[in-house]
């Protein structure tokens, strides 16, 4: 029998020179899809958060945006696509059926990070 995992959550912290515009963008992009703002974090799912950190030791924009990719799995990627299009996001990879019931897409956030929106065959 497998031992239960000791891991209870996952968090991503996005460093930026100016967090407010980035926070506003992520809230506008993800709250309509089901994320919620709690105190100073965007809660994406059970035990999963995106945080934001003001930093003065980084560039204003991501120099290698594909190095770290935030992946969000959704129930209805076409609804997410419609919402993101209404926001006027920049698509790096438009929604694509990659086979086997999987759909992938990638948008770029205001500082150049990549956010992937995925839908799988067994997305709960």
Report all structural domains of the chain as residue ranges with CATH numbers, in order of start.
Answer: 10-119 (3.10.180.10)
Mean pLDDT across the chain: 93
Q: How confident is the model at residue 19 (pLDDT cuts 50, 70, 90)?
A: very high
Tokens encoding 95: 């929604």
- Partners of 118 in beta bridges: 73, 104
Instruction: State residue 5's pLDDT score.
Output: 83
Instruction: State residue 77's pLDDT score.
Output: 96
The whole-number average pLDDT for the span 78-99 is 97
* CA angle (60 as vertex; 84, 109 as ends), nearest 5: 10
Q: Is 70 exceeded by the pLDDT of residue 116?
A: yes
- Own/partner pairs, 36-45, CB within 8 angstroms, 24+ separation: 41/11, 44/72
Q: How confident is the model at residue 45 (pLDDT cuts 50, 70, 90)?
A: confident
Instruction: State residue 3's pLDDT score.
Output: 75
């Amino acid at each position: 029998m497998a031992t239960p995992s000791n891991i209870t959550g996952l968090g991503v912290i996005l460093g930026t020179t100016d967090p407010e515009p980035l926070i506003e963008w992520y809230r506008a992009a993800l709250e309509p899809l089901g994320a919620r703002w709690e105190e100073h974090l965007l809660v994406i799912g059970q035990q999963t958060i995106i945080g934001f950190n003001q930093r003065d030791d980084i560039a204003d924009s991501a120099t290698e945006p594909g190095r770290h990719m935030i992946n969000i799995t959704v129930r209805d990627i076409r609804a997410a696509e419609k919402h993101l299009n209404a926001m006027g996001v920049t698509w790096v990879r438009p929604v694509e059926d990659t086979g086997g019931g999987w759909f992938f897409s990638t948008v770029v956030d205001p500082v150049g990070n990549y956010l992937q929106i995925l839908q799988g065959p067994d997305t709960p």
